[in-house]
Amino acid sequence: MASHRKSRPTGTRVAGIRTPALATAALTSVALLSQSTNAAPAADDKPSLEEVEKKVDDLYRQAESATDKYNAAKEKTAKQRKRADTLLDDVAERTQKLNEAREELGSFASAQYRTGAAAPDTATFLLADTPQDYFDQTQLMDRMTGRQKVAVDDYVTQQSETMKKRQEATESLETLTDSQDGLKTAKATVQRKLADARELMSKLTAEEKARLAAIEKEKRAEAARKADELARQQAAQQKAQEEAAQQQDSGPSSSGSGSSPSTAPADSSYATKADKALAFARAQIGKPYVWGAVGPGSYDCSGLTQAAWKAAGVTLPRTTYDQVNAGTTVPLSQARPGDLVFFYDDVTHVGIYIGNGMMIHAPKPGTYVREESIYYDGESAIHSVVRPA
């Protein structure tokens, strides 16, 4: 009876692989497919110029954020070091007083030993493990002289206060160590972000860098246009306010909405301080941005604004996310020279407003303090405007 099985192709099946001929063909196809698959992404893996620009900008922003954390950690470390030094000095002073109290007690013990006193009260006290042990285990306090009692009380007080201060100093030193660790971590983060940005830029060709420069030029032109628009709006608003004030002055006395004499001195005072802050900021133009720097040779963004307002007699916090809370928030349309303009949702950049939609700021590593439109990174980048005094 004839078999109904189909005849097998020539060759044998080994470990799930079909005949050698088919296996070879299949493997060849897989290899070619693998090569084409790997080759295609190789061309596509290279990011576009726009993606590189965005990535570099993001890295610089992340570096600024890390810089603020570094600045905060540095400030905290300095305060903690000062506190630790104060506590250690206090411990040294109290230890000296404790030693003096111990010496006075020792003099009583020596006198008792020389005279052969029957009740070596002070010696017993000094030989006890702790002052409390002495009082718990003996009834000799009643037999002490008045001077001995005073000496023992002083010793107990000095020992208790010294132990307390030593504990505080130990805790303060531990906190200082934590602060120093945080400072190192923030510093390493800044350095890593900046290194990543430099590496990305180093991979660009001369042609790509030229294209990036052209894109940046277009962005600056658009930012300047937006600044001019804001300047016109503010000028119109100022003119309307002045006209309203003139009408109020010429009309009957009333508590209208125009500027009142009571607000004039405050405005004048702010303008005087703002002029000093701006004069200082202008004098720094051309100095390099250096993260963590507060002058006089270089600055980061918040270091510049802090130094500028310090020149006007106003103390600002060190970091952007503290400076943003150190004043009165005002609408952008009402921004005045001297106001602080903050950027990004995480408040990682700040400049000092000079009017007409322009500011002075320390932009980022590799740049210098300069005048620039507040729209340098687009209108959406502006977070808020704060009047610090």
The residues annotated with a catalytic role in the active site are: 301, 349, 361
The strands making up 349-355's β-sheet, listed across from edge to edge, are: 328-330, 382-387, 340-343, 349-355, 358-361, 370-373
Kindly write down the DSSP assignment for every residue of 29-80, as one continuous string: HHHHHHHHHHHHHHHHHSPPHHHHHHHHHHHHHHHHHHHHHHHHHHHHHHHH
Check: CB of residue 51 under 8 Å from CB of residue 136: no
Check: CB of residue 141 under 8 Å from CB of residue 153: no
Task: Give SS3 for 241.
Answer: helix
Q: How far apart are the first and last CA of the chain?
A: 109
Stretch (H or E) spanning 181? helix 146-202
- Is 59 buried (19+), middle (13-18) or exposed (0-12) by CB count in 10 A? buried
**Cα separation values, 17 from 10, 14, 32, Å:** 13, 5, 19
**Cα separation values, 130 from 107, 126, 156, 284, Å:** 19, 8, 9, 63
Task: Give SS3 for 87.
Answer: helix
Check: CB of residue 363 under 8 Å from CB of residue 291: no
Which of 159, 100, 151, 161 minimizes the C-alpha distance to 123?
A: 151
> Are β-strands 382-387 and 349-355 bridged in parallel, bridged antiparallel, or unpaired?
unpaired
